Amino acid sequence: MSTSFLRPCLRRMFSDRGGNFGIMTAILAPVLLGAAGMAIQVGDMLLSKQQLQEAADSAALATATALANGTIQTTEAEAFARNFVAGQMANYLQSGTDIKSTTSVNVQTTTSGKSTSYQVTVSPAYVLTVNPLMQAVGFTTQHLSTSGTTIGGHSQTQGSISMFLALDKSGSMGEDTATVNEESPTESYTYDCNLHYNTKNNKWVYDKCTGSRTNYYTKIEALKMAAGNLFSQLNSADPNAQYVRTGAVSYDINQYAPSSLAWGITGVSSYVNALQANGGTNSSGAMNTAYTSLTAKNAAGNDVENSAHQQKTGQVPKKYIVFMTDGDNNNDPSGGRSYDTATKKTCDDAKSKGIEIYTIAFMAPAGGQALLHYCASDDSHYFQAEKMEDLLAAFQAIGAKASAQLTRLTN
């Protein structure tokens, strides 16, 4: 074949544009698919990265806050943060992804005086499987990671308190509770037995026999144990007796010499442990003593308790009265209820001065319950104890609330 014939044929073939689109499409299709897959995947990755960042920031903040509030200890911080991240990402992760094991947590604690700060860094990461379009151009997975840091903390401040107890020691406080004495569960006793006729004296007589019976705690013993728990809580919160002043007064039909307000709990503990049950019931004088002790003025006309605390700690104390009875006030000599009236008046005066009144009705009749319910600052300050365990729990609750006032965390 001559070149004169080939040249026109080749010229016509190379100048023919037919089929170019199909060829270009065949060549560019993988590239275009990869680009489309890349665009979709990049959007997914950016969203996943944002979700991961939000989870890291939230986990760091939640962990630092929990540490500052005392909800968790530093030894628990890592697990707490990892669980938090997993919870935040639960709806976004691909099936089978274990983000807990790939989340690192770092906690740095800094203490200065009574201030503590926590720097929490949470760094989650996981492997994201890419879409098929990305896989078509050679990608299989994408590693995503981020980090969030938060600093939180607290300063511990002491709050001052003055607490005065008004405690019933009337005769009914010598009665048994239904709780067996753990240290001496049984006791011996004597009783009349073997009735017989004594010919010498010409009369019927009994012999004296000895037996054993269950030994129960008396109400006064229960009171001493319950008050002891309260004092222990106060002492734990203020072991150096710098922020707590306590006093107590006891009563039956009469009021007895009080244990005056003093630093710490030594004096009031000894006073309560020496109480003996006897006599009737009249709470009016004791409650007045509790109130006037907490609000007494010095020669300069200043509040004695406030001055004592301000000189030692620079603070104004929170004041409490703890009022306990197991009975109803007796009628006054005129047969009236003036003891109740006077007690209520004192309670009104105390509450008007910002004094919190906790009351405990220990196996008390309706009249005693009504009086104590009236005197309590509110329903949460009134405890109706029908057994010894209730009394212990009541004083424990009061101790916990007072101790919370002593030690406060300020974020």
Average model confidence (pLDDT) across the chain: 87
pLDDT in tens, 56-82: 999 999 998 888 877 888 899 999 999
Q: How confident is the model at residue 91 (pLDDT cuts 50, 70, 90)?
A: confident
Radius of gyration of the chain (CA): 40
Given a cut of 80, whether residue 408 has pLDDT beyond it is no
The shares of helix, strand and coil residues in the chain, as percent rounded to the nearest 5, are 45, 30, 25
Q: How confident is the model at residue 410 (pLDDT cuts 50, 70, 90)?
A: very low
Helices (H) and strands (E) counted in the chain, each on its own, are 11, 16
The CA distance from 155 to 119, in Å, is 15
Adjacent-strand bridge partners of 174 = none
DSSP string of 324-368, one letter each residue: EESS-PPPPTTSS-HHHHHHHHHHHHHHHTT-EEEEEEES--HHH
Q: What is the pLDDT of residue 334?
A: 86
Mean pLDDT, rounded, for 248-267: 97
DSSP class of 147: -
| 124-133, 177-186, 321-330, range with the lowest pLDDT | 124-133
What's the pTM? 0.62
Mean pLDDT, rounded, for 132-146: 72
The set of long-range contacts for 121-125, using a CB threshold of 8 Å and a minimum separation of 24, is 121/60, 121/147, 121/148, 121/149, 122/56, 122/59, 122/60, 122/63, 122/81, 122/85, 122/147, 122/148, 122/149, 123/56, 123/147, 123/148, 124/52, 124/55, 124/56, 124/59, 124/85, 124/89, 124/99, 125/99
Q: What is the pLDDT of residue 272?
A: 98
Q: What is the pLDDT of residue 409?
A: 42
Pick the residue with more confidence: 256 or 404?
A: 256
Given a cut of 90, whether residue 265 has pLDDT beyond it is yes
Q: What is the pLDDT of residue 134?
A: 62
Q: Which domains does the chain have, with CATH numbers?
A: 20-154 (no CATH), 161-174+217-410 (3.40.50.410), 186-216 (no CATH)
Mean pLDDT, rounded, for 5-34: 59
pLDDT in tens, 288-322: 999 999 999 999 999 999 999 999 888 899 999 99
